[in-house]
Chain A
Amino acid sequence: MTGQLTRPALDEYVEGHLHQRLAEDPRVSEQGIGVTVAEGEIYLTGVVGTAERRDAISVVAAEYAAEHQVHNGVTVGTFPEPTAEEALT
């Protein structure tokens, strides 16, 4: 796992390292979070199972890139019971 971002870095490297960190940090362990960095701000997207997991993503992102503003657009999936079935023939 990489350490805290301590100097200006190209957006692409911030995206890469934060994406890996969100998978490797045990507080998050999510591989499917979208990370986009633009003009010094970080935009996160995806779906997780609980509000606690969504909030943990904000914490880890802020720890890594303290100089960036983090916009956490990750949503909490509700996943209702199905209302239909599919017939396969």
Chain B
Amino acid sequence: MRKFLLGLIEMLREIGDQNAYARHLAEHGVGHSGAEWRKFCDERFRDKYQRAKCC
């Protein structure tokens, strides 16, 4: 049950881009800040919202 809940939270974090942000910080070797989050979002959203959403 615990494993299931942890997996569920992990999935929600992935869908919510929080994991992608953590990877972004690790990749660039920088700490979390408002400016870094905004930079990450601008890059990610530019790509994400060039794709159609499914019907």
**Do they bind each other?**
no
> What is A's interface to B at a CB cutoff of 8 Å?
none
